[in-house]
Structure 1
């Protein structure tokens, strides 16, 4: 998927808001990015021992990775055989309570809580892009805003908005809170934040192959962690969007917005929310699969040279709907810069030890 992001002043709604220029709308690739907030390296001691509490052991093996049907986007092909060794994986997405313990123990400051650094930002935008006004370079993150009326699905800026002060403690900005949501997945965390938590916990982020192998739960060809039944058939199986996206989530699955972890049945490996709820960061840099026709083509590369490589996200979120994307499919891929944080992005950890 080819796309790029550029900082610019919005001419509608608010002249001091950063907007994303994105040529094609798809949650598999075209999510807005945050101006980088890199700061001094944060050093801290890792947890003394790796705990396998609330983790699941997954026996290694071979499987066919990638889409076998016609539902996939170009970067999900070709299906290819991959072998993974046995590993432990968190049964759930990392929760607000778990992330809060990490922050309390280390004093870690997340990407969204740091003011953007123009020298880092300029690596991600087209050459010659002028420096944004200082009023734009403030600690902020992207929040989901329900449009007042139906909008084109080719303009994600109609439902994503930069909001000053939005971060993991205040996912929707000032006035919002995670109080009472300790068991919800932490969001507004970048790949850098997720990797920092994993190091502190003595773990790591799962590889993309490990993630898909785990999500399949031992199945080889089925498109979802639960099998081939459509997400809206039968009983609720995952936290996704029902109704008209992005203006009306009717909440047939009992949730409009994030759901607490373990709200739906686990897959055959005992893993929860491997579809829907929040997109999950993986360790891998994003790129085409081996033998993909995208390899080496202009479609596989950004439209400009970047000094920062994107990372893979998997699993879909509560915003996924068939009319817009089917990110809840086990082969669906999304990619973003490692300093990107959004209201529907989280993670879980893995370890080989």
Structure 2
């Protein structure tokens, strides 16, 4: 685990980020990102966080030791993106991420997917850890100083597992759909995850954490709330505030703009999961010799 000293920092995106996103050739409206603002000052005590997302092999050890059955296994299906839209794929779960006929024998070092909030919490408890808070996750991803991505404010190719790693630069939704349809037809709707830590150290955060941009979405412990009551976000998003949990990091499915350190997603903790969603664990305290970090590092 990486040790992250306690710090006071400003959670979320500064005002210029919204203007930058509007000026970029990305397909999403500005309202999509409105829940990242305004920035709020938070005080985060020292903590530890997994350097990488929990892998298939690690989750298998837990499942074998406890006979744990995930929410997707109990439901009998998992959420998979088909050629054109999300669908409930019968038999899809962490063991068969694309549904029947798929497996994880060659994915032991990939992040586990089809993990609900309940599943992630159960694993964390078994491991003697917990899920990170949203503020802990963002601090571990970018440090005290604001950074667009874990390594900085530029996007060199090959530092993260996003759709652009596989399809090349993407600036339009139609181009993404073309790539994904071709991928599905050739390989089936399998998650395009990569081994954890594959992009280390170039893609690591200032605190030495890997895969905090892309690979898989990651659950946090934090209930979804707006940073300010008057944040100009979509009405549908307002309806899930207080009920959903914050998800961070983006995934292998996303554009570079959706894997920024301050990008927020929200998921139903009542059993929902999909084939791009995983997690990493955290633990309180940092051991002797560590204090606060208010230097902006």
Q: What TM bracket, shorter-length normalisation? A: 0.7 to 0.9
**Corresponding residue number in structure 2 for 1:247:** 178
Aligned partners of 1:167, 1:245: CA distance in 2, in Å?
24
**Corresponding residue number in structure 2 for 1:284:** 222
**Corresponding residue number in structure 2 for 1:118:** none
Q: Is 1:340 aligned with 2:272?
A: yes
CA displacement at 1:302 relative to structure 2: 1.6
Is 1:77–1:292's contact at 8 Å kept on the other side of the alignment?
Answer: no
Counterpart selection for 1:222 from 142, 147, 160: 147
| Alignment RMSD | 2.3
Aligned partners of 2:206, 2:64: CA distance in 1, in Å?
35
- Where structure 1 has 5 or more consecutive residues not aligned to the other structure, the ranges are 1-54, 116-138, 148-157
User: Does the residue aligned with 1:172 lie in a helix, a strand or coil?
Assistant: coil
Mapping for residues 32-181 of structure 1, pairs under 5 Å: 55-68=1-14, 69-70=17-18, 71=21, 73-115=33-75, 139-145=76-82, 147=83, 158-181=84-107
Aligned partners of 1:351, 1:77: CA distance in 2, in Å?
27
**Corresponding residue number in structure 1 for 2:24:** none
Aligned partners of 2:8, 2:46: CA distance in 1, in Å?
11
Aligned partners of 1:272, 1:346: CA distance in 2, in Å?
14
Counterpart selection for 2:239 from 302, 314, 317: 302
CA displacement at 1:64 relative to structure 2: 1.2
- Where structure 2 has 5 or more consecutive residues not aligned to the other structure, the ranges are 22-29, 168-174, 184-190, 286-297
CA displacement at 1:161 relative to structure 2: 1.7
**Corresponding residue number in structure 2 for 1:199:** 125
CA displacement at 1:144 relative to structure 2: 2.4
Aligned partners of 2:226, 2:97: CA distance in 1, in Å?
32
CA displacement at 1:111 relative to structure 2: 0.2
**The 10-residue stretch of structure 1 (64-73 or 102-111) with the greater mean CA deviation from structure 2:** 64-73
Counterpart selection for 1:316 from 238, 250, 264: 250
Is 1:57–1:88's contact at 8 Å kept on the other side of the alignment?
Answer: yes
Mapping for residues 261-272 of structure 1, pairs under 5 Å: 261-265=196-200, 266-272=204-210
Larger radius of gyration, structure 1 or 2? 1
Is 1:287–1:300's contact at 8 Å kept on the other side of the alignment?
Answer: no
CA displacement at 1:299 relative to structure 2: 5.9
CA displacement at 1:247 relative to structure 2: 2.5
Structure 1 moving runs of 4+ over 6 Å: none
